[in-house]
């Protein structure tokens, strides 16, 4: 057998082994992991609908599999998701440590599967699984010469992962700017930096254009997020910024003013509790477009609250961002408490659109509440915190050795962690899920930095 066939075979084994490792939580669960929002995303694959309060492209990616039996659709879909993640991990490893053997690459993936939050998202039917690789793809794309073979494909992959979640539109430019700043500081020519910056700007605009076009063509709402103002309003209301504005400007928002005393203080109850006025005034009316006047008042109140008390908003946002940075435990607290409720979207859509899934769903460890959450969180939190310490040390060493690649990757991941915490905690709600979806990058980059620095020191 020729060496190239051996290389192809070993590459296939590496990819397959990586996929199986990242699917371990799904095997333990006996069903792909879910979240209450899973049903809303998959409804795009199973019906002629588009999501009103989240990006629908993740569900659209499952539509080509919709002719398969439902349980096979989910297993194949989550396996393909893991394949995409493994492919980006391998690309990153080869960019950082080109001489790393396939056994070494598989060992790193195994470590991620055992000790980090990654597999608990890669095996979950949620676009959060792709947040980390969206950051890595952005760094890979910016780090390459824009005219070199393969670079356009990396940027295309960045755009594809970027459209899977609204917050990715925030992460891509932040990661790009950080990587570009590192390259400029390292002496990369102005022409090269400007070309890479242009590619990053075009990719960001494409992500924005895809979201706005989808909402415009399918929902007749030419905006990034048709109900995005409600999330900000809920955050501001919980932080105490809305009430003072409402006292002085109630006449400007009469409909909102009439129901404001009934609104829950808690942001999640305000958005999702069945007794919240927002449900009847916004979510129940979105399909008929009669919610727009009320949404306009919510937007006005949000903007006005920030404009009148900018320092208080900055203080509250900083506090929420810091709190979100420290909240990254895997396995959310919504299942089984919410997932088993017939009113949750995952339960409701499974039951109404794919009833054949219900026996599989009900027998899962997640549904029955038997996953060892405490042990899993203990391992992943310890590994992450330990990695933070090492990452700081490796950043200092790489800076002294002028290793631009290590410095730029560490800086890009650090900036993305902060941006992710700000986008989630400060503008929406503090929740472990938001940070755990991306915090696995810390141990991954720490290991790669160690291997690269050690090899170069002993070369």
Confidence of residue 277 (pLDDT cuts 50, 70, 90): confident
pLDDT at position 419 is: 96
Kindly report, residue by residue over 432-456, the tens digit of the pLDDT: 999 999 999 999 999 999 999 998 8
User: What confidence tier does 6 reach under pLDDT thresholds 50, 70, 90?
Assistant: low
Task: Considering only residues 51 and 175, tell me which one the structure prediction assigns the higher pLDDT.
Answer: 175
> What mean pLDDT comes out for the span 417-438?
89
How confident is the model over 148-177, as pLDDT tens digits?
A: 889 999 999 999 999 999 999 999 999 999
Find the range with the poorest average confidence among 204-213, 281-290, 374-383, 394-403: 281-290
Average pLDDT over residues 240-251: 92
Overall average pLDDT of the 228-246 stretch: 89
Q: How far apart are CA 103 and CA 93, in angstroms?
A: 12
Q: What is the per-residue pLDDT for 459?
A: 66
| pLDDT at residue number 212 | 95
Nearest to 312 by CA among 246, 245, 267: 245
Tell me the sheet residues that pair with 77: none
Say what the pLDDT of residue 3 is.
67
1 pLDDT above the threshold of 50:
no
Q: pTM value?
A: 0.94
| Domain regions of the chain by residue span | 3-221+331-457, 228-318
Q: What is the mean pLDDT of residues 227-247?
A: 89
pLDDT at 182: 94
Out of 19-23, 213-217, 400-404, give the one with best mean pLDDT: 19-23
| Distance in angstroms (rounded) separating the CA atoms of residues 357 and 248 | 52
C-alpha–C-alpha distance, residues 448 and 444, integer Å: 6
Asked which of 2-11, 308-317, 322-331 is least confident by mean pLDDT, the reply is 2-11
Averaged over 66-83, what is the pLDDT? 96
pLDDT of residue 252: 92
Angle, nearest 10°, between helix axes 190-219 and 168-185? Answer: 180
Query: Can you tell me the distance from the alpha carbon of 239 to that of 237, in angstroms, rounded to the nearest whole number?
Result: 5
Please give the share of the chain, as a percent, with pLDDT higher than 70.
Answer: 99
Is the pLDDT confidence value at 278 over 60?
yes
At a CB cut-off of 8 Å and minimum separation 6, what does 138 contact?
158, 171, 172, 175, 176, 179, 200, 412
Cα distance between residue 24 and residue 14, in whole Å: 16
Q: What is residue 387's predicted lDDT score, i.e. its pLDDT?
A: 97
Q: Over the stretch 389-418, which tens digit does the pLDDT of each residue have? A: 999 999 999 999 999 999 999 999 999 999
**Residue 322: pLDDT over 80:** yes
Give the pLDDT of residue 333. Answer: 73
Instruction: Work out the widest C-alpha separation in the chain, in whole angstroms.
Output: 80
For the chain, how many helices (H) and strands (E)? 25, 0
């Amino acid at each position: 057998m020729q060496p190239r066939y051996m290389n192809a075979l070993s590459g296939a084994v590496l990819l397959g082994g990586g996929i199986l490792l990242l699917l371990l939580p799904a095997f333990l669960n006996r069903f792909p992991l879910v979240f209450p929002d899973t049903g809303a995303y998959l409804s795009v694959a199973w019906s002629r609908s588009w999501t009103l309060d989240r990006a629908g492209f993740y569900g659209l990616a499952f539509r080509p599999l919709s002719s398969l039996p439902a349980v096979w659709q989910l297993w194949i879909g989550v396996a393909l998701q893991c394949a995409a993640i493994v492919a980006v991990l391998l690309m990153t490893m080869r960019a950082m440590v080109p001489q790393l053997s396939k056994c070494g690459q598989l060992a790193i993936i195994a470590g991620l599967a055992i000790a980090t939050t990654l597999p608990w998202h890669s095996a979950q039917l949620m676009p959060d699984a792709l947040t980390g690789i969206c950051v890595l793809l952005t760094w890979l794309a910016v780090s390459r010469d824009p005219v070199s073979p393969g670079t356009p494909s990396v940027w295309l992959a960045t755009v594809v992962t970027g459209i899977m979640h609204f917050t990715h539109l925030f992460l891509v430019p932040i990661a790009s700017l950080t990587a570009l700043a590192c390259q400029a500081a390292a002496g990369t020519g102005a022409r090269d930096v400007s070309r890479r910056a242009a590619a990053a700007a075009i990719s960001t605009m494409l992500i924005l254009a895809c979201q706005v076009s989808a909402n415009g063509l399918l929902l007749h709402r030419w905006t990034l997020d048709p109900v995005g103002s409600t999330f900000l309003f809920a955050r501001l209301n919980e932080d105490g910024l809305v009430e003072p504005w409402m006292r002085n400007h109630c006449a400007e928002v009469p409909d909102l003013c009439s129901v404001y005393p009934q609104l829950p203080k808690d942001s999640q109850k305000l958005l999702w509790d069945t007794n919240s006025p927002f449900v009847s005034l916004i979510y129940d009316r979105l399909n008929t477009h009669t919610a727009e006047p009320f949404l306009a008042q919510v937007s006005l109140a949000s903007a006005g609250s920030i404009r009148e008390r900018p320092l208080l908003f900055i203080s509250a946002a900083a506090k929420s961002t810091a709190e979100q940075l420290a909240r990254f435990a895997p396995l959310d607290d919504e299942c089984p408490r919410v997932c088993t409720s017939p009113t949750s979207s995952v339960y409701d859509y499974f039951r109404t659109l794919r009833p054949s899934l219900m026996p599989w769903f009900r027998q899962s460890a997640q549904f029955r509440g038997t996953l060892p959450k405490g042990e899993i969180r203990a391992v992943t939190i310890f590994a992450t915190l330990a990695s933070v310490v090492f990452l700081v040390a490796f950043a200092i060493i790489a800076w002294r050795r002028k290793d631009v690649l290590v410095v730029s990757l560490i800086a890009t991941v650090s900036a993305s962690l902060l941006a992710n915490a700000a986008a989630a905690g400060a503008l929406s709600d503090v929740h472990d899920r938001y940070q755990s979806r991306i915090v696995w990058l810390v141990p991954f980059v720490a290991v790669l930095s160690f291997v690269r620095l050690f090899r170069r020191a002993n070369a």
